[in-house]
Every structure is written in C-alpha cells, then in structure tokens.
Amino acid sequence: MVVLFLQLPGDMAVLATAEARQDLPCRVTPARAALGFDLGLHAGYTVRIPRQDVPAGRLRLLVRVTPVGNSGEPVYLKDRVEVTPANEDLVLQGRFAVREGRYKVDWLLRDQRERVCSAHWELSAEAPRGVDLAAPLDEEAPVAREGALHLRVLMPLAPPYVIEDLVRMLRAITREPRFGRLSLVAFQPAERRIVFRQDDTPRLDFRGLRDALDRADFVRVDYRSLLAKGDVLSGLLAEGPYDAVLVLGPTLVYYPRKKSYQVSRPVDFAAAWRDIRSRLPTLPIGRR
C-alpha cells in the first residue's frame, strides 16, 4: 500500500545513509520479488529481533522503495506494531507490490527508546515468461467493461487453501474486461452456509467480502468431495444459466466445459487463467 505521511527528519537521515544501524539488534532478510496469486509481483522482508532485545510498546516501521535507472518517484510505506514481550524471538514480515524493474529499498525500525535497526538492499522484479502481469492494487483503475458475459465465481472457504490467495485470484479474474456482469458466492462447505453473496453487478464489493470473511470460522474439508452429489456446491452449480462459472480452490474448475486445473503456485494459476480466457464464449447466452 502506498502511504503518504510526514517523514520525520531523523528517519529520513537514517534512510539516506548506506550504513546499516543496529542500535536495536535485529536481522533483516529481504525476500525476492515473486509472482502472487493476484498476478502481480510482490517483494518483502522478514525481520527477527532476539528475545532478550524485544522492546515493549510500539515499534515504528518505515520503508522507502525507489526505482533504479529511471525518474520514478520513491514510494514510502509505514506501519506501527504493538509489541508485548514474550519468551521468544520477535518475527515480523512485510511485503509490497512492485512493477517490473530494479529498486533500491531503504528500511528502518524504531522503538520508543529511539533505538534503530536499519537495512538497505536492491531488488530486481521480473515476470515469469508468458505471464501477463496485473497492475498493483493501489494503481488499479476501474475496469472498462467491453463485453457482456456474465461470470459467476463459487468460492468454497475451507482449509487447507489460504483464503487470502483465493481473494487474490478473484481480483485477477474480475479484471477481465469481457465480463460485463459478475456474481460471487463464498460459502462454507462443511456447514453448508453462504458467507457472502453478490449477484449481477459490474463490480464486486471486496470490502464487504473481507468483512464477511473476518467473521467466518473455517473447517477443513476434502476438496475432492465438493463435487459429490447433493452437496452445497452441486446445488449452486445447478443455478443459472451463466456464460462462465469458476470454482476457486486447489483445483480450479471452469464450467460449462468442466475443465479442471491443478493450482498450487501462482504460475499454475497464471497458466490456467490464460487457458480459460482463450475458452470464453464470444457472446452471452441470450445472443448466441
């Protein structure tokens, strides 16, 4: 997320030097840029503070990401972390979206005693071959809907799949301009309960979806059993008609052709989504 705020002079001085500070003992490990399930590139870091040095109270985090080799402006990101000391190391992780290119990252963490840990590194971001990247979420403009196809997405909410990854896939899918109408049903298979539903809209309510997900409890199920006759998914699949239906999960299923794709990594999803896009009908059902 891009955050605009008043940078403190002391923090800016730390970012401006190439020297790593260790007033607050910590170890920062950068994470290379990689493809996410939203079909965007993400980089990040992990920081570890030894248990004997974990400070109580609030930590202030500041990150500056600057493009290298062009005139792009730096982006500043900040966060505040409330810490309760425990008998273990403190581990913090963060990530941020980037476009293709090279970047310089300046990172600092400051505690309430004004002790500082800082780090500086460069990273390179490149899309895997054959992957069309989506714009970072902060740079997204409303989709110009060019078609009239009606897409319905069915989202079973159950471990072992990471719910956040399902949401990221959903964001990438709904950016397709040929979908003029969108419908979504997020449900819990074990409880046979609808968690969130939105029908026939040009734009999904992701904030409402997240609020609903935050209130839900998840029970592990076997995804292979979801297509069993008589379960909630079978009932939802019987509704319609829709021009296309997608079931999200470790096995991504595209209807009406019932073509399945195994999706365990973002690159798997990118390949599956590219194939699905090639199979979409040209006209909506009522005009064929």
Q: Do strands 244-247 and 149-156 pair parallel, antiparallel, or not at all (unpaired)? A: parallel
Give the pLDDT confidence score for residue 161 in this predicted structure: 67
Sign of the Cα pseudo-torsion (18, 23, 29, 30, in order)? negative
- Measured between alpha carbons, how far is 20 from 11 in angstroms, rounded to an integer? 13
The band of 102, judged by pLDDT with boundaries at 50, 70 and 90, is: very high
**pLDDT tens digits for 26-40?**
999 999 999 999 999
Give the pLDDT confidence score for residue 256 in this predicted structure: 87
**pLDDT tens digits for 153-199?**
999 887 656 888 999 999 999 999 999 999 999 998 877 889 999 99
Within 10 Å of residue 192's Cβ, how many Cβ atoms?
11
- For residue 267, give the H/E element and its range: helix 266-279
Residue 233 pLDDT exceeds 60: yes
Residue-by-residue DSSP string for 27-96: EEEEEEEEE-TTSSEEEEEEEEE-GGGPPSEEEEEEEEEEESSS-PPPEEEEEEEEE---SS-EEEEEEE
Give the pLDDT confidence score for residue 242 in this predicted structure: 94
Q: Do strands 244-247 and 75-83 pair parallel, antiparallel, or not at all (unpaired)? A: unpaired
- Measured between alpha carbons, how far is 100 from 96 in angstroms, rounded to an integer? 13
SS3 assignment, position 103? strand
What is the arithmetic mean of pLDDT over 259-272? 95
